[in-house]
Amino acid sequence: MIKDDFTNCESDIRLDGKVALVTGATSGTGLEIAKNLSKRGAKVIIASRNPVKLDNAKEEIIRASGNINVVTRQMDFESLTSVRSFVSETVQTEPKLDILINNIGAIGLDDKLTADNLQLMMQVNYFGSFLLTFLLFPLLKRSAPSRVVNVSSLALILGQIDFDSWNKVGKYSNFGVYCNAKLADVLFTVEMDRRVRGFGVNIYSMDPGLGKSEFFRHFRNEPLKNALNAALLKFGRPLHRVATMAAYLSIDPKVEGDSGKHFRDCEEFYSSWFANDTVLRSRLWKESKKLVKITAEEDWEI
């Protein structure tokens, strides 16, 4: 009998009356996370830039869960203006936010700068989530106890943070940028936990492993893309099981005292020695705020 890596993730905790936001929830792991939370009775907000995919995902979530309390809202991580507009609408329409799951991630995107003068892969995989979480913190704080789950990757162990070049085009390979972004996700998790401890907002990072998905769909090299996606679909972890890990971190009382930690298969997992570098983490936080242009009105740290 093959051992299920996610046995420790199981929980029958209900989320009736709770509000959860899941990014990247129109397909893959994000969609399965949204289904999981919806089945527990939560109101689930799913965010994506594609309205057709949002509508299709909403129908699938309702079908799977029997819960009609699913909200779609457009947001494009390639635009910081879009993230800010999303937050503004969310804050105006939602009196509370109990769970934020930063699931969105992509590889194979073009090596170019966005209109925000940020490297595209870094913006989609890190800066967008940083900005979203920073701007939503006041709502999360008002909703405490609340939780944030940042989906990272084992690729982070190959990442590096060089503040002089992390946004440069042509500096890193596509995979290299992805590694750097996923390392930044974990450092941001640890640093935010340090800065918000005591406010009732817990924040975790997790390594989902390789799931059964077409994660490499953005690759331009067709033979390579097809081969990698075929391997994932054949050997990857079932996405509905991977989703139980995000759900576990967002609801289970057993990890209440583990904010700031990194998990895999619902157990604490090594991330990187960089996570213990307080100087690096603090600078990453400050540089991130600067690059996403946090204003005085937005800055709850002032």
Catalytic residue set:
178
Residues 140 and 97 sit within 8 Å (Cβ to Cβ): yes
* DSSP strands (E only) in 37-167: 43-48, 70-74, 99-102, 146-151
Task: Please tell me what DSSP assigns to residue 70.
Answer: E
- Is the omega angle on the peptide bond into residue 95 within 30 degrees of 0, that is, cis? no
Dihedral of the alpha carbons of 98, 152, 48, 148, in degrees to the nearest 10: 10
Cα(73)–Cα(46) distance, integer angstroms: 6
DSSP string, 281-300: HHHHHHHHHHHTT--TTT-T
